[in-house]
Structure 1
């Protein structure tokens, strides 16, 4: 780590309590014992000064490095702008890898495949996420000419990539995150669509199907379309496009996977088509990239672009200043970054892509008194993003005057059309800001809030009710605020059924699940219209949403000009249908009712017996296991009558039947947990409500390892954070923790 002397007269940054936790866990530099030796001020100055130092390379620069470092420091510590996490972590250190997004090619050869595995491991180790297209790999069972053998297909190699990522994560470094994409016309597409039918499969991957306009036109007509072998270019068969689209919709309804990306639309906006097609994106889908390309991201806090003195409008002059300074920051990041592969260094240097995005959008709307689910909000989204892109390109033009355009400018769409010249091939991206928004104390990205008020678990089991400050101010201004009301709001996160609150407050302060899905999509499309790359956004759906609802969202996303879409139906993981192997005959309507899926019991099986005190007596639950998973249970209870004994035995038999039929433990727990009885009993820190609740308690504690399942109520929250125990929420295409910034997407 380079030595950085922090000026004594720098103002101390104001850090909110959540941000202190996040910065301590993830960003402050630590010694070999894991103890931070860096203060918050030193962290921000390390980043600001190292990025500003790159200015010294350019003799024509209109900025001086010492003053620019102060400007960057003020920009970040006022939380008007923050760069992506790798920049905060690694700027000014010996590692020096500052980019978040990478795409790697997967060639159709053993050497190419395992080169990609190795390169991904290097990127994950450095703190980045990776995207891959597996569309070049020949289909399963096709002949391998060099050996005379048969290919195992994309899915088999996808599992190898997933396993490699798991080992990097277990090695103590930052969790790796991946995107896997397969074209809709690949012969193995049906296997890919069903790849995550069983929860826990490919757990280090987000999956998206690459849709083409030819396919979408076939869906509209109900026509067949061709599957094409990638290694020969020859047709291998046909599928009905509408049937495939229906299956894709159903899988998204069941579990949220896979998502979809529109490949033709992505490549229409490819600024450097002479370098080839874009075939994949980064892990959350907002950054389409060429092979071996990376992008440096950062986000402007729109919640701070509002000033009451400015006639209740956006402070456009201040927003312009922030955009220009942020573009300079991100362009300097490209020069400051040490990329893990020479191919990446070359490609990044050729195109110099940056991705300036936003966060705090919901906060801005709250301050302006505009409901998220309104045309006025959609129109403002277009206006804001158009302004940011125009000013971002203006800033990029200024940098081109000082430093020269990006090297591939002449052959780019800008060079061909005599536009620019620009310093950067792309300027805008709307990326996930789960961690950055915690540091900045604002709402995430362009998402609505997931809850207006929620309970956060702090040290020693204490509970802290946290409330959106704009919501709290509105209540106080209306003389409607109270601690008991905040507790009540925290139970559900929403106020839509609280008719006693003023109507204008209920109209403006809406949350993710209060908003009709189509408004989510309209908002995404509004921001996409003026975003060079793409938009990270989740279309949240209520539990009762139908497959027809998702069909409409997918189709409208295509019509509205989105580059992809992610949907998440509330509670879908808990209600996922039982899958028995996924043969295509099932999709053709064949009757499977006569097939037995109940596994036979072996002659010898081992297990354990757990003693649980219930209000009806001591329950002895014997659980026998196969391959570390429960296979059958026997429930016996003492000191009770024959009826209770019979019920315990019956519950045990039914749970055993479910387990032997392939039902997941979490599904059993979600059904049994919370069932009440006439004699509840406290056991240590747990209230045992009934015999089935006791079985759920044993299963949850032994097999789910901290995963949280609700007791029958539908909520955006379905799991607890494995790091801090607070609830995870699903937004911006990923499960994230609002308290400690843990994310399943890296």
Structure 2
């Protein structure tokens, strides 16, 4: 068969995608040809090649066929989109990669005869080239030059390239330098730039990650080489390179130069130069650069490391030491504390939150993660709240706004004698502000609006994320959440009516909860029945609940959060009211017109605190003690953009110590997530974190003094989080609800209780479990308290697409002799799940069950055990594989009855899969090399079914 699929001009001599003249394709995408030359990328050549492939198989029938034209056009668009998505780093496509995508596109579109002919033709051409290469082989082989920054060319240093790749593979089981080097050479071309030369081995290692997870470390170490070239060149003012081995001797000298360069660039706080830099530099541990996996280091490279003019000059250990120094500025022994903080961060035992990592040690040290505000019911208050949102978001703060006080649609406006348009038009303004102020250009601005469920506008609020209706009354980018009192849930369970009011006529309801709310709410219902209230509406509570769940399923919003649980168990009930949670539903702090709540977050890496024998309590105690000191320091060092935030934070001094790597810890202990043992471990681990966090806050109070609003708090009365369960239980019984929470404990709480009463607390709140989406990527562990999404998948975030493989599963399968190419293919076929792979033993299947294979009741059971120890809340995503109204109703009632304070995203699965790709690997044999970012199981967080993937780069929970 003659199948001319390698075509450029009429002669048909150049590969698909190559062209002698540039085409209008947007960014400068280029093609590496087999001889090493580079030509502009021309999508038209793919169209021509596909058309000729159809003609070769179908003959004259295909000529002029509308069907063939449409198929070819669609296939070309798909191929080009895939290529561009996967080659963002260098905008370079190797000719073989283009042809791989053509082959895949033909197979996916079920044009099997054409695909088969195409594959056979490629094989014939490959054999012909191999014969020609053998006949014309010379000892020298192809020689490439490298284009230097000044435009000059120098010969490629083949020895250094091989040495860097060899070094990247050192001491890593299951990886080899040879395939990385072979694949790298395929991506070289004559005149290659230094940047493209640095990228080539990184991209080569990335393609091998799914064959062995340790290639993620190889890719990271190769990225380190690129980073070292940038950083050393910048700080020393001349071209420099260093291998990892060479860097162990140079890190200290580099660090002092880095501090000076950062200050000169007006990026670092000048106070850092006043540290004893010799002592600081000597404490650096260069080998800890090797702990990063590719996803973590690329995330650092793209979003965290200091840069100027696009040049990163901050190496990973310098970054972590900069953060540690920034948190030590007010310590007496600044160097000693900085080294202690650095050691904790660089070990990955604990990681501070993203704003702290972004800004510590810089000239604008806004280190806090979350801000909660209450919006006043007047134009000045409303637009001040919008302005505050912008100022708080500018330096990477996540926002939670309480909009309940704003009067509803149709309410009277005394000043104009008119009627209100309600809260929705102002939410539209807040939505657009969040998009305009994108957290300093580092990540998308993010805000969550909260509205209490008795508000007259609640039904319009539920529709905010829909795609249909008046777009002026839609907020497509803002998160929304219901603030739900227990009385409503009790009426849902009793199938009773519920009355909606405008807050200008029922102002007390906003600040009341528990029995007091019930009394006043019923008082207003009686007034409405007598015709003494102008704006109200009565609905069936169960109907409203069902509509909430319907919207939650359809749009992912509003989230369901529980007002009474947040307030009754709040240690700070004497000092105000919790009116909302934050962007990620783990913060429960008081807000008012005069106080903007602020929380400062960080997370313990639980995976680093377990041994095969259980939780290492001694190590955990040390980690929590140091972490609490770091978090407390944030409060005093922090740069506050509005005075209300400063006033609140210094008065109450709340922090939120959380955890990540929960699933990693379970797998290390051989405990399946869906088991009583996992629930018990959630209880035991959170009890230990809680005990040590409270104890550390007492120690800080003894050293630095109590927080100013301590007197009158639950703490001052010796009521700890475990004790406050009784308060909630009493309130539930009074309102007709119930509470099913475990009350058991194992540690000496009585002694700690007495210490709290006598010495006091440094912090009003100590614990909150955040999503940790980005910092867990940095540390290479599972996000927060989440079960594994899949065991093999492509994660998409702001840094690109990353193949993620569960390394623990691979280790287990290797030990049992089950890890091979067939297993990789099976994992992709079953979308990262091992449940249907027959040859895998049952115990392994149970241990590595994925999120959608685990009944969410297990997640709630574990969360309930944690919640008894936490003085704030936890970001809890709920997963449901096959949603129904009945299942959702049962799930969210269970969350309420189990004493949870909040819930977060509802994650639901659609018909989707991991790409079943069959790309050719570096040895020319058929391998399953790359799990493509095909449609993923979805996170329902966009309106009207316009859902984002579970790894959406624009979704706060995914970042």
Per the shorter chain, which TM-score range? Answer: 0.7 to 0.9
Q: Is the 8 A contact 2:399 2:583 kept in 1?
A: yes
Residue of structure 1 in register with 2:842 after alignment: 503
- 1:94 corresponds to 2:363: yes
Q: Distance in 2 between matches of 1:226 and 1:457?
A: 44
- 1:407 corresponds to 2:725: no
Q: 1:538: how far off?
A: 0.7
Q: Distance in 2 between matches of 1:26 and 1:316?
A: 34
TM-score (norm 1): 0.75
SS of the residue corresponding to residue 281 of structure 1 reads coil
Q: 1:336: how far off?
A: 1.4
Superposed CA deviations along residues 105-127 of structure 1, whole A, max 9, x for unmatched, are: 20000000000000100011111
Residue of structure 2 in register with 1:384 after alignment: 685
Specify every segment of 5 or more residues in structure 2 that has no aligned partner in the other structure, as ranges: 1-267, 507-523, 529-535, 719-755, 916-931
1:343-742 equivalences in 2 (<5 Å): 343-417=644-718, 419=757, 421-455=760-794, 465-491=803-829, 492-542=831-881, 544-571=882-909, 710=935, 715-716=937-938, 730=950, 736=952
Q: 1:708: how far off?
A: 8.2
Q: 1:39: how far off?
A: 1.5
Q: Distance in 1 between matches of 2:542 and 2:797?
A: 50
Residue of structure 1 in register with 2:729 after alignment: none
Q: Distance in 1 between matches of 2:356 and 2:306?
A: 13
Q: 1:171: how far off?
A: 8.1
Superposed CA deviations along residues 477-514 of structure 1, whole A, max 9, x for unmatched, are: 22211244134314411101112111111111111111
After superposition, the Cα gap between the structure-2 partners of 1:743 and 1:187, relative to the gap in structure 1 and judged at 3 Å, is closer
Q: Report the RMSD for the aligned CA atoms in angstroms.
A: 2.7
Equivalent residue for 2:322, pick from 22, 37, 46: 46
Q: Distance in 2 between matches of 1:458 and 1:214?
A: 40
Q: Distance in 2 between matches of 1:16 and 1:498?
A: 28
Equivalent residue for 1:18, pick from 261, 273, 295: 295
Equivalent residue for 1:256, pick from 556, 568, 574: 556
Question: Which structure would you say has the larger RCO, counting Cα contacts within 8 Å and 6 or more residues apart?
Answer: 1
Residue of structure 2 in register with 1:30 after alignment: 307
Equivalent residue for 2:491, pick from 213, 218, 225: 218
> After alignment, is 9-18 or 127-136 more displaced?
9-18
After superposition, the Cα gap between the structure-2 partners of 1:535 and 1:19, relative to the gap in structure 1 and judged at 3 Å, is same
Superposed CA deviations along residues 517-569 of structure 1, whole A, max 9, x for unmatched, are: 21122222222221111111211111x32111000011111100001223525
Q: Distance in 2 between matches of 1:456 and 1:42?
A: 27
> After alignment, is 231-240 or 510-519 more displaced?
231-240
1:136-215 equivalences in 2 (<5 Å): 136-169=405-438, 172=441, 174-198=443-467, 201-215=474-488
Equivalent residue for 1:273, pick from 563, 570, 573: 573
After superposition, the Cα gap between the structure-2 partners of 1:563 and 1:459, relative to the gap in structure 1 and judged at 3 Å, is closer
Q: Distance in 2 between matches of 1:518 and 1:302?
A: 22
Q: Distance in 2 between matches of 1:474 and 1:228?
A: 58
After superposition, the Cα gap between the structure-2 partners of 1:435 and 1:736, relative to the gap in structure 1 and judged at 3 Å, is farther
Q: Is the 8 A contact 1:206 1:284 kept in 2?
A: no
Superposed CA deviations along residues 658-690 of structure 1, whole A, max 9, x for unmatched, are: xxxxxxxxxxxx9xxx9xxxxxxxxxxxxxxxx
Residue of structure 2 in register with 1:658 after alignment: none
Q: Distance in 2 between matches of 1:441 and 1:379?
A: 25
Number of residues of Structure 1 aligned to a counterpart in Structure 2: 586
Q: Is the 8 A contact 1:465 1:490 kept in 2?
A: no
Q: 1:174: how far off?
A: 3.3
SS of the residue corresponding to residue 355 of structure 1 reads strand
Q: Distance in 2 between matches of 1:448 and 1:112?
A: 42
- 1:285 corresponds to 2:585: yes
> After alignment, is 472-481 or 391-400 more displaced?
472-481
Superposed CA deviations along residues 586-614 of structure 1, whole A, max 9, x for unmatched, are: xxxxxxxxxxxxxxxxxxxxxxxxxxxxx
Q: 1:212: how far off?
A: 0.7
Q: Is the 8 A contact 1:283 1:745 kept in 2?
A: no
Q: Distance in 2 between matches of 1:717 and 1:177?
A: 17
Superposed CA deviations along residues 182-234 of structure 1, whole A, max 9, x for unmatched, are: 11111111111222222894233221111111111111111112222211215
After superposition, the Cα gap between the structure-2 partners of 1:22 and 1:728, relative to the gap in structure 1 and judged at 3 Å, is farther
Greater C-alpha radius of gyration: 2
After superposition, the Cα gap between the structure-2 partners of 1:455 and 1:101, relative to the gap in structure 1 and judged at 3 Å, is closer
Specify every segment of 5 or more residues in structure 1 that has no aligned partner in the other structure, as ranges: 57-63, 575-669, 675-706, 721-726
Q: Distance in 2 between matches of 1:149 and 1:489?
A: 63
Superposed CA deviations along residues 75-95 of structure 1, whole A, max 9, x for unmatched, are: 111101001000001001111
- 1:72 corresponds to 2:341: yes
Q: Is the 8 A contact 1:177 1:744 kept in 2?
A: no
> After alignment, is 102-111 or 281-290 more displaced?
281-290
- 1:104 corresponds to 2:406: no
More helix by share: 2
SS of the residue corresponding to residue 628 of structure 2 reads helix
Q: Is the 8 A contact 1:359 1:446 kept in 2?
A: yes
Q: Is the 8 A contact 1:434 1:736 kept in 2?
A: no
Q: Is the 8 A contact 1:465 1:487 kept in 2?
A: no
